[in-house]
Structure 1
Amino acid sequence: MKKTVLIIMFAGLLSVSCKQSPKDENVGSDNSSSAATSSELPENGSIETPIGKLTFESGYPSKETVQKLYDDMDFQRACQAYLWGIPAVGMHEWNKAYLNEMKGKNNEMVSYLDFKEKLGILTPNYTTPYIGTFIDTEKDGPIVVELPAGLMAGMILDVWQRVICDLGVVGPDGGKGGKYLILPAGYKKVSPPGYYIVQSKGRMVFAGVRLLGDDKEKAIKELIPGIKTYTWSPSGTGEIRPVRRAGDVKWSQMPPRGMAYWESLNEIIQNEPVDERDRLFLAQLRFLGIEKGKPFNPDARQKKILEQGALIGEAMAKANTSDKRVEPPFWPNTQWKHALAVSVDQKTPYYDQLDERAAWFYEAVVISKGMLTQTPGVGQRYIASYSDKNKNWLNGSKTYKLHVPANPPVTQFWSVTAYDEGTRQMQVTKQGRPDISSRKEGIQKNSDGSIDVYFGPEAPAGKESNWVQTNPGKGWFAYFRFYGPTEAFFNKSWALTDFEEIK
């Protein structure tokens, strides 16, 4: 299926109104109907536009046209607000699953170690153990996150997934361990000895780490017992909360669809302070029933527009993510692009990033400086592909080969993981393993040290150890992760080729 099929998703929206424009020789004359090819609106009469026919009387839009314009204005705003809200809604949904399905206590660290526990996360790494917590700073006040010395990396984020502080080997402790004191917004400045001070700007905070050691079981056994949280005050510390397993529960942090998306976004708006950058979005949402300090009770008109806005907003998010116009190919003439195209503060010198953050957080969660490393041998980098070398979407009914050249540029390990297009979570197949990594036992190497990895519904004969199963009839995409990328990654002297369909 060609990439152009994405455009079809929008064709139905515009097919009624986006007709070929007739000549505009009658623009401005009484009772005329013309196309919107003129730079002037008619004094009297009608004009055909991409949103349908607009009628004017003595220069004013007719009452029907006024309503039509307001409906379209609100619809366009709903679509853009959907893209704007993606980072916060994704994080908020995880927080709700943490509290409800996992029965997590405020600031209690929870571990995600196996396939089932990670399944609700957007694009996790199959092989990497995760530990994380959500902190409601308004309820518990200052909280300490204590880390032991060891090979781990992580971050502290606000609800919009902006980095407040990195943790572990990429943080101020440098992998030597330390105590991070997270202060609520507006809390008086304190500097107790022995703590790294982290000042929150909002109410909800996420703190998490991933374990990076090559011996997964050893890392779990030695490091997790040293990870803990507890409350802090000038007079002392509270009860220590150790890490516990998320457990075998069904959950998902995927942003919900339809009205549930807006209900989730409204909860965030009611609970969090308003950033200066977001005031114009909140000005637009008030006409759709979402206003800080007021109950969310949209009328029938607003509900219809919000439901349509969520539908088309997600279609826009799919296009914006899988065919990133904000990002060039990482290796020239390939389909591989940076998965993570947003900066840790979501800013550039001249604008705040909107499309960039929507592209990442629609299909993924969390960000850190380490995940955007520019230092050889430190941190991680993620490169994504959604298409084969012929620019066709990756399809679970077909079989592909990915050639991984010898000597991948990593000091730790590499992995390539297949994700379901619809859920952006790890594929669930009978095989039960959605990736291949350099840490996998029994992987077959070619005589020159390169590796061929196969993706498809059935394993090619003799290639079972190098095969990842896909689901027929479903789209999928891949992340190729570099842990501790070396200079050959940055100067691109080492490069991947595209997925190649094989018969």
Structure 2
Amino acid sequence: MLSLVMALATAGLPDETQCAALASDPVAALAFATGLQGFTYGYPLVDLLKQQHNETHRIAPDQPVAAPVNTIAVYPHLLTPETQGQLRAANADTLYLNAWIDLSRGPVLLDVPAFGSRYYTLAFMDLYGRPYHLGTRTNRGAERRYALVGPAGGTVPTGYEAFRLPTDTAWMLGRILAADQADLADAKALAAKIRIQGTPGAPVSAAAPLQPFASLEYFVLLNRALRQVPAKPGETALMAQFDQAGFGPRQQFDPAALKPAEALGLGCAVRQGPKILAQRGFRPSRIQNGWMWSGAMADPGDDFLLRAEVARGGYVNAPEESIYPAAITDHHGERLDGSRTYRIRFAKDALPPVDAFWSLTAYDRTTSQLVPNPLRRYTIGDRTKGLRRDRDGGLSLYLSARQPAVGRTNWLPVPSGPYHVVMRLYLPRAEALDGRYALPAIERIAQ
């Protein structure tokens, strides 16, 4: 029996037949029920700790960034299918900066140069996946000095402004607008002037990628996270349930100490959890002309299913920073497919209302990743050079896998099969946030 437990802890999960038999064993069924709660609750914590490991170690020869904790890594390129790495639904408009912040030993100092009119944002994700922003919106591009402070506290040096985060581990994903490849050098020069001062982490070393969604390692990481983060009001009873199952904040989770039925139940929770999240899916708070958006995604509160789904989909910014309406169907309600040609037509003076920029990007429906195309155009928007206006002053954009009959000027190449599109509105104006402005429908114009 012990060999079965150890196999579950480090290798594969129970198969579907084993999971189907859970109800015949009350111990296994109870472990599954609590484990499923833990899987849903802990999804962002586990996913982010996995990502931290994979981005502070060299897990692949071609990985885009790797840097120690409390060190900024600047992506070498604007993202393309070849350079997007593990990022899901990545944008191709901005230069990315990546850093893992450890505040457990006191504040980490952040010095930011003057950006002037160039848009940028530094998004700090706490371990629950909630974003906190510094950048153009908060400081109008002025030079600033911040002290990042977590629950561990510490003294803020004179001349620094405290910027408080709810967990001592945080992920910083920065974005600096680059108009095109020619503008990339200037964006990189600014990125190089952003300084972080904190207790450095271990040097980058080679390691196998962490894959906690394939074993009981999921609960090892969740237990580690729950022992680190501050207790949250209203969650005492939930944490007590997790403690009873062995992975709560007052426990030291040990897969080898589990009874076989307990290991089976927790293993099936990890096996079934992703399917349950996928069935629940994204539930928008607003749908206009086929475009879906949820204002609750940046702060789901106690909706742990939504929080997990947001993390599974790739995390989001605060809505006042940017919103990402997405579409998976055309104006007939049929799924978008690269074999067809579509048009999105903006009426004159009805382009997306933003104070920074807007763009449209297409992703493979299954992987949420950019797909290569012969034009090497992965985004189209207000900075795309040479776009032609319609005769009445409107703007039509064309989506298809093959070049449309109207030519390539206003064409966004898309994957050849099923795909979805994301419209990015950075620094959206009030009418975009409250629904007074609606994006035009995606009109199918050819099979």
Bin the TM-score by the shorter chain: 0.7 to 0.9
- Per-residue deviation, 1:110: 1.2
8 Å contact from structure 2 (residues 220, 253) kept in 1: no
Q: Is the 8 A contact 2:241 2:248 kept in 1?
A: no
- How far 1:107 sits from its partner (Å)? 0.8
Q: In structure 2, what is the equivalent of residue 338 of structure 1?
A: 293
Deviations 1:90-121 (A, max 9, x none): 32232112211344122111122322443322
| Contact 1:381-1:481 within 8 A present in 2 as well | yes
1:390 corresponds to which of 290, 313, 332: 332
Could you tell which deviates more after superposition, 96-105 or 397-406?
397-406
Residue 143 (structure 1) aligned with residue 108 (structure 2): yes
Q: Distance in 2 between matches of 1:73 and 1:396?
A: 46
Would you say the 8 A contact 1:91–1:365 is kept in 2?
no
Write the deviation string for residues 299-338 of structure 1: whole angstroms up to 9, x where unpaired: 543444344333432233234444x1x6132x2xx32121
**Counterpart in 1 of 2:391?**
447
Match of 1:301 in 2: 261
Q: Which residue pairs with 1:410 in the alignment?
A: 354
TM-score in terms of structure 1 length: 0.69
* Structure 2: distance between partners of 1:364 and 1:399: 28
Confirm whether residue 361 of structure 1 aligns to residue 314 of structure 2: no
1:290 alignment partner in structure 2: 247
Give unmatched runs, 5+ long, in structure 1. 1-11, 18-50, 53-63, 233-237, 240-245, 374-378
Q: Answer yes or no: is 1:194 the counterpart of 2:159.
A: yes
Shift in Å, 1:486: 3.5
Which residue is 1:181 aligned to?
Answer: 147
Q: Secondary structure at the match of 1:119?
A: coil
Equivalent in the alignment of 2:422: 479
Confirm whether residue 167 of structure 1 aligns to residue 134 of structure 2.
Answer: yes
Please state if 1:99 is matched with 2:35: no
TM (norm. structure 2) is: 0.77
Amino acid at match of 2:57: N
Matches within 5 A, 1:232-311: 256-257=213-214, 259=216, 261-286=218-243, 288-292=245-249, 293-297=251-255, 298-311=258-271
CA-CA distance at 1:412 after TM superposition: 3.1
- Cα drift, residue 200 of structure 1: 4.2
Query: 8 Å contact 2:34–2:245 — kept in the other structure?
Result: no
Q: How much does 1:288 deviate?
A: 4.9
- Equivalent residue for 1:243? none
| Higher-RCO chain (CA-CA 8 Å, sequence separation at least 6) | 2
Offset at residue 411 of structure 1 (A): 3.4
* Distance of 1:304 and 1:403 partners within structure 2: 53
1:436, distance to aligned residue in structure 2 (A) = 1.8
Of 176, 192, 206, 1:225 maps to: 192
Contact 1:153 1:212 in 2 (8 A): no
Distance in 2 of aligned mates of 1:446 and 1:363: 35
The offset of 1:480, in angstroms, is 0.7
Counterparts in 2 of 1:491 and 1:98: CA distance versus 1, 3 Å? closer
| Alignment check: 8 A CA contact 2:431 2:437 kept | yes
> Using a 3 Å threshold, how does the CA distance of structure 1 residues 137 and 484 change in structure 2: closer, same or farther?
closer
The whole-number CA distance in structure 1 between the counterparts of 2:114 and 2:209 is 31
1:121-174 deviation digits (Å, cap 9, x = unpaired):
222211111213112223x532101111113222333211234x5312233x34
Q: Distance in 2 between matches of 1:118 and 1:277?
A: 39
Residues 402 and 498 in structure 1, CA contact (< 8 A), matched pair in contact too: yes
Change (3 A) 1:105 1:442: same
- The aligned residue for residue 42 of structure 2 is 85
Change in Cα spacing, 1:73 to 1:427, as seen in structure 2 (3 Å) is farther
Whole-angstrom distance in 2 between the partners of 1:183 and 1:266: 23
Q: State the AA in 1 paired with 2:170.
A: V
8 Å CA contact 1:211–1:219 kept in 2: the answer is no
Counterpart among 143, 152, 156 of residue 124 in structure 2: 156
Once residues 289 and 432 of structure 1 are traced to their aligned partners in structure 2, the CA distance between those partners, rounded to angstroms, is 50
8 Å contact kept, 1:339–1:384? no
Deviation digits for residues 38-64 of structure 1 (CA, Å, limit 9, x no counterpart):
xxxxxxxxxxxxx98xxxxxxxxxxx5
2:72 is aligned, of 66, 90, 109, to: 109
- Tell me if structure 1 keeps the 8 A contact 2:363–2:414: no
Deviation at 1:421, TM superposition (A): 3.3
- Residue of structure 1 in register with 2:3 after alignment: none
1:301 and 1:132 map into 2 onto residues whose CA distance is 41
Which residue identity is paired with 2:359? S
Give me the whole-angstrom Cα distance separating, in 2, the residues matched to 1:421 and 1:264: 29
Q: Secondary structure at the match of 2:422?
A: strand
Contact 2:343 2:442 in 1 (8 A): yes
Shift of 1:228: 0.8
5+ unaligned residues in a row in structure 2: which ranges? 1-15, 59-64
Show the 5 A alignment for 1:419-498: 419-428=363-372, 432-473=376-417, 475-486=418-429, 488-490=431-433, 492=435, 494-498=437-441
